[in-house]
Each structure stands twice: as structure tokens, then as C-alpha cells.
Amino acid sequence: MDWGMKNRLSQLIKSDGHCLFMPIDHGYFLGPTSKLEKPGETIKPLLQYSDALFVTRGVLRSCVPPDNSVPIILRVSGGTSVVGKDLANEGITTSIKEAVRLNASAVGLSVFIGSDYEHQTLMNLSNLVNEAEEYGIPVMAVTAVGKELEKRDARYLALCCRIAAELGAKVVKTYWCENFDKVVNGCPVPVVIAGGPKTDTELEVLEFVHDGMQRGAIGVNLGRNIWQNQHPVAMIKAIRAVIHENASAKEANKIYESEKKKK
């Protein structure tokens, strides 16, 4: 692996081998998502606890200060909306030239395996890897399911992650599920856990993150369950404790409870 690629990956994955990526890319198909209406405000207190920010070029340019030193994973797929026909019908929206210009540490795109757009989105991934490798830029593949959240079981997610790795993704982001080790064990590149819609309790999130880490994930790419929480800083600190300090879910929940009392 070339120095540039290794260097970018080491910006994203910390020296303990773990990572906490914070996605704020939701607007690319959801519009002004709750608590992300003003992304610049949302991320202000959270940036210092994030190992990378997953963001589109539009929000990066308009809402993230250029003196920000948190590594950027640039969301480069899109072209669909939640009110349109099919969320899976994505193309590549952003060139590698733009990724270089924006000093991105990685680029990320979604693949929709099993959908009508499986071939198209897998070719998006393959073509993106071909171009990104030229410049030593890692590609993170997101195994997306659109509105079909019930698809998320170990057999399906293992299939998706393996295919994404085979086509050249350097990191794969996928949903947590029961028997998550089956997903990780079949994937030859690091796996990060996606968050999904906001859960009822903090403990639920901390439990699935902890379970996923114990079963081989290297970290998370988790957004709504952090910044839609009433106490986002307390929540990100609790999740960091699971990821970087090997805290149990209960220990992390105690951190959340004590941090949320702080001003």
C-alpha cells in the first residue's frame, strides 16, 4: 500500500485500531433532517470528539470551517430523494478532483445490493475505487437498504460487506445485527457499524455498539443517535468510551448519565 493511502487511513483509524466517524450527510436525500437543519451549529460541540466527519461537499463548503482539523470522508454518491421513486438509484455526484481539492481523507458511497440498482451501484463502487486508488484515497462503502430496514440480517449484510470488499472498498459501513461476527468474519477489510434511526434509550445504542465491537467491528459511523440525543456531547463521550476505552454498555451509560448533568 502506498504511503498516501496508509497515511489517510491512519488519519481515520486511530492508533488503537478503532474509530468514531460522525455522519452528517443525511440531507443529501432527506433534506433538512431534524437537528441537522444547521449542520455547522450541530457539529460545533461534537467535532472534538469525532475521529472523522462524513459529509457532502455542499455542507462541507458551507458549514464546516476550513481550519477544521477533523478528517473528512466525502459523501460522493446521491441523486435521489426520500420523496422520489427509488432511493437505490444513485450515481456518483462528486469527482475525485473535488475530493483532492477538498483535502478529503476518504470518499464514501452507498451500494444497494439486492435492489433494482444493484449493478449500477456496484459499478459506481468499482469505478470510484479505480479512480480513488490513483490518488491514494480510500473508499468507504455503505451497505444501504433504503426504506427496507427489515433486510438487515447477518446473512444479507455479510453478503453485502464481502461484495463491497471484493470490489475494493477499504472500509465497509454496515448495520449492526444479531450474530454480527458472521458479518465481520466474512469481510476482509475493516467494518464500521452504522447507527440507524434514533432508538428509545441510550443503553440500546451503547449495547449494540459494544456487541459489534466485541464481535470485530473497528468502530462506528453513527449520527442520529448522537446529534438527535437531547445531550449530544454526553452521548458522544459515552460512545467514545465503548470504542476507545473498552467500556461496557453499562459503564458507558453511567458516563452518559453523569455527563448530561454538566453544562
The residues annotated with a catalytic role in the active site are 173
Residue 220, helix vs strand vs coil: strand
CB 11 within 8 A of CB 41: no
Rounded to a whole number of angstroms, the distance between the first and last alpha carbons of the chain is 45
Contact stretch for ligand 5RP (CB under 6 A) within 91-99, 123-131, 216-224, 239-247 = 216-224
Of 132, 110, 137, the closest CA to residue 26 belongs to 110
146 is an interface residue for ligand 5RP by CB under 6 A = no
Rounded Cα–Cα distance for residues 154 and 107 (Å): 25
**Does residue number 128 form part of the binding site for ligand 5RP (CB under 6 A)?**
no
Q: Could you say which of 104, 144, 192, 243 contacts ligand 5RP (CB under 6 A)?
A: 144
| 196 binds ligand 5RP per the rule CB under 6 A | yes
CB nearer ligand 5RP, residue 4 or residue 121: 121
Among 151, 152, 224, 240, the residue binding ligand 5RP under the rule CB under 6 A is 224
CB of 158 to ligand 5RP, least distance (A): 19
CB of 2 to ligand 5RP, least distance (A): 27
d(CA 81, CA 143): 17
Place of cell 468502530: 219
Cα separations in angstroms, 263 against 232, 234, 260: 12, 10, 8
Interface segment toward ligand 5RP; rule CB under 6 A; list 12-20, 59-67, 193-201, 254-262: 193-201
Contacting ligand 5RP (CB under 6 A), which of 25, 90, 202, 211? 25
* Residue 216 region by backbone torsions, left for phi larger than 0, else alpha for psi between -120 and 50, else beta: left
Contact 31, 8 (CB under 8 A): no
Pairing of strands 191-194, 219-221: parallel
Q: Which stretch binds ligand 5RP (CB under 6 A): 2-10, 125-133, 191-199, 211-219?
A: 191-199
Contact between 212 and ligand 5RP by CB under 6 A: the answer reads no
Query: Is residue 142 close enough to count as binding ligand 5RP by CB under 6 A?
Result: yes
Determine the Cα–Cα distance for residues 174 and 142; give it in Å rounded to an integer.
6
Nearest CB to ligand 5RP, comparing residues 107 and 222? 222
User: Looking only at residues 53 through 72 of this chain, which bind ligand 5RP when binding is defined by CB under 6 A?
Assistant: 54
Binding site for ligand 5RP (CB under 6 A): 23, 25-26, 54, 110, 142, 144, 194-196, 221-225
